Structure 1
């Protein structure tokens, strides 16, 4: 019989999609809650889908953030509910959302993203939140699955997550928020 063990702390990663001028406000709110950043990507054109355009307009951008302080993975549902509340309070008006804030976490072996949408490859975490393993680390790099979003399959995104993984490997970097 297996013995339950406590999960090691993981790296909080948050993706932003929206108008670039909103990113600084979101970063300040997120840092107030989760602490200092240890990585922020450059602003990337988001051209992989028109899914967000009806509510957010065209010319959308993407940015990724990671935080010095590690988290315990079972906090992911609360973090997703918090980012949803931020979207509603600060980045929505009359049913239109202007910024998408997607939290997840990174371990040495995978990138996990939180979502409110169920699908065959997603697991229910509680509080209306699901998670999927979006990327796996194999043969010295992150690799996609058949369900991985197209933008997460690009060399640029893979390089970003490999870089964040390397910051996670550095000893003594980022205490857990236990």
Structure 2
């Protein structure tokens, strides 16, 4: 018989996509830090060209920024992360279009799990319309893609950012 045990908290991860950074940055960062603590990882802008899925809504060219935050959270708070980012997207609509796309998730030693409102075969329903997407696993010293991993998360550049965030997370847990 297994004995239930509460896992260690996870590290908040956020990917932001936009073609209109000048309209909301750095004000959005201040809002995020008020909610989740100081950003402890902040990438430069990264060109986003793996898909044209967001072009019509966000405009072009789209750039991504990857962030993590100092506060660690219980893993069961993934739903509240997504609800908060959905609210921010709605509050910042222009002409009924998002000016940014926020993809929150949680990084642990073992994985990156993103939150989504879209169902798919590999996604696990959590509650209130939010699903968990196991996007990458960390094993044998590196990130491993899965058959459904988004192409942009399969890139070496993205995985390097994730490794940097995972290293900050490891240090945080060691210092507890």
Aligned residues: 174
**1:54-94 residue CA offsets vs partner (Å, 9 max, x unmatched):** 1111101001100111011111101101110000002x123
CA distance in 2, matches of 1:93, 1:174: 43
CA distance in 2, matches of 1:112, 1:5: 19
TM-score by length of 2: 0.94
Match of 1:52 among 54, 79, 83: 54
Deviation at 1:96, TM superposition (A): 0.8
In structure 2, do the counterparts of structure 1 residues 65 and 171 end up closer, same or farther at CA, with 3 Å as the change threshold?
closer
- Structure 1 ranges of 4+ moved more than 3 A: 171-175
Q: Which stretches in structure 2 are left out of the alignment for 5+ residues?
A: none
1:16, 1:64 within 8 Å by CA — same for their partners in 2?
yes
**1:87-138 residue CA offsets vs partner (Å, 9 max, x unmatched):** 0002x12321110011100000100000000000000010110011101112
In structure 2, do the counterparts of structure 1 residues 165 and 58 end up closer, same or farther at CA, with 3 Å as the change threshold?
same
Partner of 1:134: 135
In structure 2, do the counterparts of structure 1 residues 27 and 151 end up closer, same or farther at CA, with 3 Å as the change threshold?
same
Tell me how large the CA RMSD over aligned residues is: 1.5
Q: Which stretches in structure 1 are left out of the alignment for 5+ residues?
A: none
1:66 maps onto 2:68 in alignment: yes
1:84 maps onto 2:86 in alignment: yes
1:69, 1:174 within 8 Å by CA — same for their partners in 2?
no
